Amino acid sequence: MLDHTVARWVRAHGGSAALAELAGWASLADGHGDSALPLRGEAAGRHGMPPLEDDAMEQVMADPMVTVVTTGSTQAAPAVAATPFVVDSGYFYLLRNHLHEGVVARHANTRRAGAGTEPEGSSADIDVLFHGDGSGRVAAQRAAVAQVPGKRLFVLTGGPGTGKTTTVLRMLMLLLKRRAGSGAAPAVVRIGAPTGKAAQRLSESLRDGARLMRDGQTRLPEDWHPWLDASLNAPASTLHRLLGSRGHGGGFVHHAGNPVPADIVIVDEASMVDLAMLRHLLEALREDAALILVGDADQLTSVGTGSVLLDLVGAMEAAADPGLVRLSHSFRADQSLLPLNEAVRLGDIDAFERAVIDAGDQVRRVQIGAPHELDAALATWARSLADGLRAAGAFSPLPRGADGAPDQVAVLGALDGLRERQLLCALREGEFGAEAANRHLESSVRAASSGGALSLTRGEWYAGRAVMITRNDYTAGLFNGDVGICLEDADGALGVWFAVTVAASAASAASAGSAASAGSAASAGSAIDDDAAAPATERSRRAVCFVPGSLPDHQGGFAITIHKSQGSEYREVAVLLPPDPDNRILSRQLLYTGISRARQKVQLWASDAVLRRAISTPARRSSGLRARLDASQWS
pLDDT tens-place string over residues 249-289? 788 999 999 999 999 999 999 999 999 999 999 999 999 99
Residue that is last in its domain, among 286, 311, 331: 331
Bridge partner residues of 291 (DSSP): 153, 265
Outline where DSSP puts E strands in 208-306.
Answer: 236-238, 264-267, 290-295
pLDDT digits (tens, 9 = 90+) for 102-143: 999 999 999 998 766 566 668 899 999 998 899 999 999 999
Asked if pLDDT for residue 166 goes beyond 80, the answer is: yes
How far is CA 69 from each of CA 59, 73, 92, 227, 632, rounded to the nearest angstrom? 16, 8, 10, 49, 18
Burial category of 45 from C-beta neighbours within 10 Å (exposed 0-12, middle 13-18, buried 19 and up): middle
> CB–CB of 388/417 below 8 Å?
yes
Asked if pLDDT for residue 309 goes beyond 70, the answer is: yes
pLDDT digits (tens, 9 = 90+) for 458-510: 678 999 999 999 987 878 888 888 899 999 999 999 999 998 765 433 333 33
- pLDDT at position 566, please? 87
Q: Are residues 271 and 399 in the same domain?
A: no
Q: Are residues 177 and 211 in the same domain?
A: yes
- pLDDT at position 502, please? 59
> CB–CB of 381/559 below 8 Å?
no
Asked if pLDDT for residue 196 goes beyond 90, the answer is: no
- pLDDT at position 519, please? 37
Cα separation of 624 and 172, whole Å?
33
- pLDDT at position 513, please? 42
pLDDT digits (tens, 9 = 90+) for 45-94: 778 888 777 888 888 888 999 999 875 544 444 445 579 999 998 899 99
Asked if pLDDT for residue 312 goes beyond 50, the answer is: yes
Helix then strand count (H, E) for the chain reads 24, 20
pLDDT digits (tens, 9 = 90+) for 439-472: 999 999 999 998 755 554 467 899 999 999 998 7
The count of structural domains within the chain is 3
Q: Are residues 318 and 399 in the same domain?
A: no
- Answer yes or no: is 179 within a domain: yes
Residue that is last in its domain, among 271, 298, 331: 331
470 has binding-site annotation: no
Mean pLDDT of the chain: 86
417 has binding-site annotation: no
> CB–CB of 174/326 below 8 Å?
no
Q: Are residues 495 and 353 in the same domain?
A: yes
164 has binding-site annotation: yes
Q: Are residues 478 and 606 in the same domain?
A: yes
- pLDDT at position 515, please? 37
> CB–CB of 299/273 below 8 Å?
no
- pLDDT at position 208, please? 83
Q: If you average pLDDT over residues 573-577, what whole number do you get?
A: 98
Region at 379 (left for phi over 0; alpha for psi -120 to 50; beta for the rest):
alpha
Asked if pLDDT for residue 534 goes beyond 50, the answer is: no
Query: CATH no. for residue 302?
Result: 3.40.50.300
- pLDDT at position 118, please? 66
Q: If you average pLDDT over residues 330-345, what whole number do you get?
A: 87
- pLDDT at position 75, please? 43
Phi, psi dihedrals of residue 245, rounded to the nearest 5°: -55, 135
158 has binding-site annotation: yes
Residue that is last in its domain, among 94, 129, 157: 94
Asked if pLDDT for residue 579 goes beyond 70, the answer is: yes
- Answer yes or no: is 108 within a domain: no
Q: Chain-centre distance of CA 105, in angstroms?
A: 22
165 has binding-site annotation: yes
* Rg value, the chain, Cα: 25
Q: Which candidate, 176, 166, 116, places its Cα nearest to that of 144?
A: 166
Q: Are residues 270 and 354 in the same domain?
A: no
Q: Are residues 272 and 344 in the same domain?
A: no
> CB–CB of 26/37 below 8 Å?
yes
What is the model's pTM? 0.86
Q: Are residues 222 and 303 in the same domain?
A: yes
- Answer yes or no: is 595 within a domain: yes
Q: Are residues 221 and 306 in the same domain?
A: yes
Q: Which candidate, 372, 428, 377, 385, places its Cα nearest to that of 578?
A: 428
Cα separation of 8 and 3, whole Å?
9
- Answer yes or no: is 81 within a domain: yes
Q: Are residues 406 and 550 in the same domain?
A: yes
> CB–CB of 245/252 below 8 Å?
yes
- Answer yes or no: is 326 within a domain: yes
> CB–CB of 159/345 below 8 Å?
yes
* Owning domain of residue 342: 336-451+462-501+540-616
Cα separation of 175 and 167, whole Å?
12
Q: Are residues 362 and 255 in the same domain?
A: no
Please give the angle made by the CA atoms of 629, 632 and 635, to the nearest 5 degrees.
Answer: 95
- Answer yes or no: is 508 within a domain: no
- Answer yes or no: is 308 within a domain: yes
- Answer yes or no: is 588 within a domain: yes
Region at 150 (left for phi over 0; alpha for psi -120 to 50; beta for the rest):
left
Q: Are residues 427 and 493 in the same domain?
A: yes
